[in-house]
Amino acid sequence: MDCDGKILFANDNALNSLGYTLEEIENLNVWDVDAIVDSKEKYLNTVKEFNEIDYSSIPHTIESYHKRKNGEIFPVEIVSKFTTIQESQYLISYVKDITNRLKRIEDLKLYFDLIDSSKDMIFLVDHATAEIEFVNDTVCKSLGYSLNEIKNMKVSDFRRPFKELDNIDVPEVFKKIEELNTMTTFGIYITKDGKKIPVETSLHRKEYKGKSFLIAISRDISERLEIEREKEELNKKLKNYNKTLQNEISIAKQELIEYENIMKRQSKMAAMGEMLENIAHQWRQPLSAISVLSTGMILQNNENLLTKEDFNKGLSDVNEHVQYLSKTIDDFRNFFKPNKQKNHFNLEHLVSTSIKLSKVKHNQEKIKFIVNCENIELYTYENEFLQVLLNLIGNAKDELVKKTYEKCIFINTRIDDAYVVISVSDNGGGVPLDIIDRIFEQYYTTKHNYEGTGIGLFMSQNIIKHMHGNIEVKNIDIIYKAEQYKGASFEIKIPFLNKKGIENE
């Protein structure tokens, strides 16, 4: 275009985007296609601003909106530069449609709104400078700083090493994350008013536009540490009692037993709560059907419209639904029995029961079970073993519902010398390597506070140990329908029985 705003030439991309022919656009001015610079006066003011700054060698970039021939307006980025041709000055502009970029910005805004609603403290940190680029509202509320205050700080301004745990200072953390890309560390955050908050932080390193950033998600672990301190105090008491009277040792042991029983009850109650929810789901439809049938029969009878055939069919349908409810009770009642004795049971039947009891939760997600189970008889604690299987299946389903591909849980059994080996695997991506060694720890959980307590796997390990077995977890590669997936595999080994029902030595 010339300096008066007349368009002299446009390439094919411009013509296709705006909807003009070359002949048509050569009769237009800049303000005919720009929705912001929509008059000659605005155009000349813009050119004047360009001339006040030397853009002869440096292009000038602005954002605006262009108008298509059909009247549609779309956002653009314009890079303009003056050039001289045969002693006359012209303006060359390269225009890029930024509709998708603005859409991504809106999506990013939504993402940050979600981050702000998190109960965890979330930081975005420049890896090179350790300066804070962004924090969510939880950080400001927890530390007592405004967003502007904390964006002028570095992590080291408020973070201290946690001497009782890993005791890693900020420079060492930043160096270590270069090698691992993801890690978990512990530290102390100092609030604006001097309060100390112990935190566990998950760190992830991400590259963006040539720069390295750290995403840090920190959780206040004060409550967890208090529990650990209470446990340590209890252990100290036990050591002291060993040096004194035998009756004090007995008292300490009783306290530990009570402590374990509370955890067992808590774990059992959580499982029972889920079972009750499953029963409610199982019963809702047949109960509704029975109500409709009985009400309909009453109304027909009141109007003298109820025939013998309708009456018999209605009772038959009611009976069918009642039988379904009875069968549901049979499926669930054994789980609630407070049976503390070993008993004989069939492993294949127990696996089938665990799948049936777990299918209500996330059932709409269409999680597929692939089972390869041998007909093996066991002699151990059936209900407790069922609780372990339900916990492993439930954990797998909680991860799989986050996935969009075909979701599968694989349950396999085999005999290995004097042991039965049961594996529960999934194609949900596996357990992060930075937590896989801690997954059986008491109160350790990767879920939010409102989703889990971390007791499930801890108690599952205790139950299997009580059965003279062991449980392990590892990440594996799974091939299903010619597709390869990453997944987690929990493997249980417990003693089995021979055909006479005698535990193998």
Lowest mean pLDDT among 431-440, 455-464, 482-491: 455-464
Superfamily of domain 12-97: PAS domain (3.30.450.20)
Per-residue confidence (pLDDT) for residue 327, from 0 to 100: 63
How many CB atoms are closer than 10 A to CB 4?
A: 11
pLDDT at 293: 77
For residue 495, pLDDT over 50 is answered with yes
Q: Average pLDDT in the 82-92 region?
A: 85
∠ CA 46-52-55, rounded to 5°:
85
Report pLDDT for 498.
Answer: 47
Q: What is the DSSP string of 147-170?
A: HHHHTT-BGGGTEEE-TTTT---H
Largest CA distance in the chain: 107
> pLDDT band for position 449 (50/70/90)?
very low
Asked if 400 contacts 428 with a C-beta cutoff of 8 angstroms, the reply is: yes
Q: Give me the mean pLDDT over the 350-370 stretch.
A: 76
Query: Greater confidence, 50 or 402?
Result: 402
Q: Band of the pLDDT at 165, cuts 50, 70, 90?
A: low
Ranked by mean pLDDT, the top range of 5-19, 244-258, 388-402 is 5-19
Average pLDDT, the chain: 81
Q: Model confidence over 190-240: pLDDT tens digits?
A: 999 999 999 988 888 888 777 888 888 899 988 888 888 888 888 887 777
- Interatomic CA distance for residues 26 and 8, integer angstroms: 5
End-to-end CA distance of the chain: 93
Give the pLDDT confidence score for residue 452 in this predicted structure: 43
**In the prediction, which pLDDT does 95 show?**
93
Regarding predicted confidence, which is higher, 491 or 286?
A: 491
**Residue (of 80, 30, 29) closest to 50 by Cα position:** 80
Give residue-wise pLDDT tens across range 111-142.
667 676 778 899 988 888 888 888 888 999 99
> Is residue 331 over pLDDT 60?
no
Q: For position 209, what pLDDT does the model report?
A: 75
In sequence order, which residues have a C-beta less than 8 Å from that of residue 451 and are 6 or more positions away?
Answer: 398, 445
Residue 166 pLDDT exceeds 70: no
Residue 357 above 60 pLDDT?
A: yes
Q: What is the mean pLDDT of residues 366-375?
A: 89
pLDDT interval class at 47 (50, 70, 90) = confident
Are both 103-220 and 337-495 of the same fold?
A: no
Q: What is the mean pLDDT of residues 241-263?
A: 70
Q: How high is the pLDDT of residue 369?
A: 92
pLDDT for res 144: 93
- Separation CA 205–CA 373 (nearest Å): 42
Query: Mind giving me the DSSP string for 167-198?
Result: ---HHHHHHHHHHHSEEEEEEEEEPTTS-EEE
- Distance, CA of 251 to CA of 458 (rounded, Å): 25
**Which burial class, exposed, middle or buried, applies to 488 when counting CB atoms under 10 A from its CB (0-12, 13-18, 19+)?**
buried
Among the listed ranges 12-26, 160-174, 223-237, which one has the minimum average pLDDT value?
160-174
For the chain, domain boundaries: 12-97, 103-220, 246-328, 337-495
| Arch. (CATH architecture) of 337-495 | 2-Layer Sandwich (3.30)
Tell me what the mean pLDDT of segment 165-188 comes to. 79
Q: Given pLDDT bands bounded at 50, 70 and 90, which one contains residue 354? A: confident
On the question of pLDDT at 499 being above 60, the answer is no
Most confident segment among 165-169, 365-369, 413-417, 489-493: 489-493
CA dist 115 and 121 (Å) reads 9
**What's the burial of 171, exposed, middle or buried (CB within 10 Å: 0-12/13-18/19+)?**
exposed
Q: Who wins on pLDDT, 443 or 468?
A: 468
Strand partners, 129: none
Q: 75: pLDDT confidence band, cut at 50, 70 and 90? A: very high
| Cβ(439)–Cβ(454) below 8 Å | no
DSSP structural state of residue 19: T
Rg (CA), the chain: 34
| Structure letter (DSSP) for residue 27 | T
Domain 103-220 has CATH 1.10.600.10: no
- Distance in angstroms (rounded) separating the CA atoms of residues 503 and 505: 6
